[in-house]
Amino acid sequence: MGMFDDLRCHYPLPIKGVQDRHWQTKDTPAQWLDQYEIREDGSLWHEDYDIEDRSDPNATGISGLIGMMTRVNKRWEPCEMTGEIRFYGFRDEVRGKGWIEFSAYFVAGKLRELHLIEDRSAETVD
């Protein structure tokens, strides 16, 4: 399945009732469970961070991995990406049914186009 990033869209979406959700995407530059936002003005932002090893040097086995890549000094920075980001999720997040997908096209980090790609209702998908 691979890694993905999390995207929040504060820009108005063309479908009611799906604003301010957490969407998944595999089209952003990071692909390491990073956070992205499309702000109200259509600008694309990325939560950047530094990495520190905060693991326990005395731990053994898998416990020794916990904390190795701790994200510190988190800060939001503009992302100057040019290209398409498709973001998607379940139509009914509680039941995990239905599907909704959007396409956003950016030029130098500014939203130029936003389209609904697919909207399958939760009732039509088993």
Q: What is the pLDDT of residues 20-41, one digit of tens each?
A: 899 999 999 888 899 999 999 9
Q: What is the pLDDT of residues 75-112, one digit of tens each?
A: 999 999 999 999 999 987 777 788 999 999 999 999 99
Label the pairing between strands 35-38 and 5-9: parallel
User: Which two three-digit tokens encode residue 96?
Assistant: 């995990």
Residue 68 confidence class, pLDDT cut points 50, 70, 90: confident
Domain that holds residue 118: 5-124
The per-residue pLDDT for 122 is 63
Structural domains counted in the chain: 1
Q: How many CA atoms lie within 13 A of 121 on its CB side?
A: 2
Residue 56 confidence class, pLDDT cut points 50, 70, 90: confident
The structure's pTM equals 0.83
